Amino acid sequence: MQSGESVMRWRVVIELTRGDGAVHAREVATGSDDGSGSAVKPLGLTLADAKALLAALQRHLVEAEVADYCRERRCCPRCKQQRPLKDIRTRRLNSLFGTVSVRAPRFKPCRCSIGSRRTLTPVAEIMADRCTAEYERIVAKLGAWMPYRRARDLLAEFFPLGDDVPEVETIRQRTLRVGARLEREALSPANCSVPPAEAMTVSIDGGHVRSARGYQGRTFEVFVAHVGNDNGQQIVFSSVPAEADKQRHQLSGVLQSLGMTPQTPVTVLSDGAVGPRALGEAASTGPVRHILDWFHLAMRIQHVAQCVKGWPDGTADEREKGADLADIVEHIRWRLWHGQVRRALARLRGFPCLQRYFRADGER
């Protein structure tokens, strides 16, 4: 770093050390804090400077790593001789810090090779998808969080992609590809080293998502499950029944990853609907117990509360009965919300029209 009387200049150098101890230094970027033409000098790096610096650093680093790997792969592990060079091509690597073009040599089979006579392309081994794993993950993550066009604008704003910003269709395809891979991984066998759980709980619910535009007329259902075991481990699972691939096996894989065995009792908390309840039961291999959770049970009372608001209030007697009924409904809803089922049933027995729903022993 050199400083003048009014201008400070800086230089960034990357030092690369190979496996044999050879050191190579390369200049990445230079700059200065010259603020001529402005009243205040800029402090630190601007976003444009940082993007250019990251892009240059990525380019030098990737080129050095690829060259070092190709140098190692050219050496035959059997006879320790170098494979003959066939040709040199150019391959592009997409990353979050710019697209890097690297030299991709291809080597002929070694003369000592008898079983295999294939051409060796080392760059294809480390750049199979022609993009870094982090690039694919971030693109898919933004594509899942927001509209694809907005994800594209966000990538162009904060990453040094230059003219290689992915198109909207590319972001969509990468997002769907990552989602399909995650679904396949969910179907993979569970890790056998997971200790078996003594009990598990599955809180599952479903809902319908309406299309944003009315003329499309398309809605779809979404299942969301919160899975936990007795050790405190928790996993959130979601799927779209109309488009998911074997969602029952996927949820079963989640349960097995938390220690589910054929002897593990599973408690399914749901709103009583057939879809979520059947999914939780089908994914469980052990004994299943169904419980209607308090939230949905209390929400059923909310419909009664809405009807009570329309109670006639023409006379004083009608207003008094309506107020009493509203008070009773609110007490029932509060007790159900706090899990006081017996006290709620005791209040329900006070309605003459509901007496036929209770047996002689007082149970519903």
Write out pLDDT tens, residues 84-132. 889 999 999 999 998 999 999 999 888 776 656 788 889 988 888 888 8
Residue type, 323: A
Q: Is residue 195 part of a domain?
A: no
Is 52 a residue whose pLDDT tops 60?
yes
Residue 191 domain-assigned? no
Report helix, strand or coil for 323: helix
Residue with tokens 């402005």: 38
Interatomic CA distance for residues 140 and 174, integer angstroms: 6
362 pLDDT band, cuts 50/70/90, is very low
351 falls within a domain: yes
Nearest to 262 by CA among 245, 283, 284: 284
Residue 242 has pLDDT above 80, yes or no: no
Domain membership of residue 154 as a residue range: 133-186
- pLDDT for position 6: 64
Residues 108 and 222 in one domain: no
315 in a domain, yes or no? yes
Q: Per mean pLDDT, which range of 38-47, 103-112, 137-146 is the poorest? A: 38-47
Cβ(351)–Cβ(320) below 8 Å: no
The C-alpha angle 170, 173, 179, rounded to 5 degrees, equals 140
- C-beta of residue 58 within 8 angstroms of C-beta of residue 94: no
Residue-wise pLDDT for 212-233, tens only, equals 565 555 677 788 888 988 888 8
In a domain? residue 192 = no
Same domain, 23 and 122: yes
**Could you say which of 292, 309, 326 is where a domain stops?**
292
Which comes out higher in pLDDT, residue 257 or 338? 257
Sheet holding 23-32, edge to edge: 2-3, 8-17, 23-32
pLDDT surpasses 90 at 153:
yes
- Is pLDDT of 63 > 50? yes
Question: Pick the residue with more confidence: 149 or 242?
Answer: 149
The residue-averaged pLDDT of 45-66 equals 88
Quick check: 4 pLDDT over 50? no
Residue 357 pLDDT: 47
Task: Tell me the C-alpha distance between 323 and 327, whole Å.
Answer: 6
Answer yes or no: is pLDDT of 11 > 50: yes
Question: Residue 171 — pLDDT band, cuts 50, 70, 90?
Answer: very high
67 pLDDT exceeds 80? yes
Are 58 and 172 in a shared domain? no
Q: What is the pLDDT of residue 326?
A: 77
Question: Based on the domain organization, do 239 and 338 belong to the same domain?
Answer: no
Residue 169 pLDDT level (bands cut at 50, 70, 90): very high
Is 59 within the bounds of a domain? yes
pLDDT band at 245 (very low <50, low <70, confident <90, very high): low
Mean pLDDT of 253-272: 86
Provide the pLDDT confidence category of residue 186 given band limits of 50, 70 and 90.
low
Residue 215 and residue 322 in one domain: no
Amino acid at 328: I
β-strand 219-229 against 200-210: which pairing, if any?
A: antiparallel
Percent of the chain residues topping a pLDDT of 70: 84
- Residue 363, in any domain of the structure: no
Same domain, residue pair 46 and 109: yes
Q: Are residues 20 and 35 in the same domain?
A: yes
Burial class (CB in 10 A: 0-12, 13-18, 19+), 275: middle
**243 plus 344 within the same structural domain:** no
Dihedral sign, CA of 179, 182, 92, 15?
A: positive
Q: Which of 290, 296, 247, 286 lies closest to 268 in space, CA to CA? A: 290
Mean pLDDT comparison of 181-195, 267-281, 312-326, highest-scoring range: 267-281
| Residues 95 and 19 grouped into a single domain | yes
Query: Is 308 within the bounds of a domain?
Result: yes
Contact 306, 267 (CB under 8 A): no
Give the Cα separation of 42 and 59 in Å (integer).
27
Do 230 and 331 fall within a single domain? no
Same-domain check for residues 24 and 105: yes
Same-domain pairing of 214 and 141: no
Residue range 234-246: mean pLDDT, rounded: 74
Token look-up 């002929």 returns 108
Ranked by mean pLDDT, which of 202-211, 298-307, 318-327 comes out on top? Answer: 202-211
* Average pLDDT over every residue of 299-306: 72
Which residue, 78, 95, 126, sits at the end of a domain? 126
What is the residue-averaged pLDDT of the chain?
Answer: 80
Least confident interval from 98-102, 184-188, 354-358:
354-358
Q: How many domains does the chain have?
A: 4
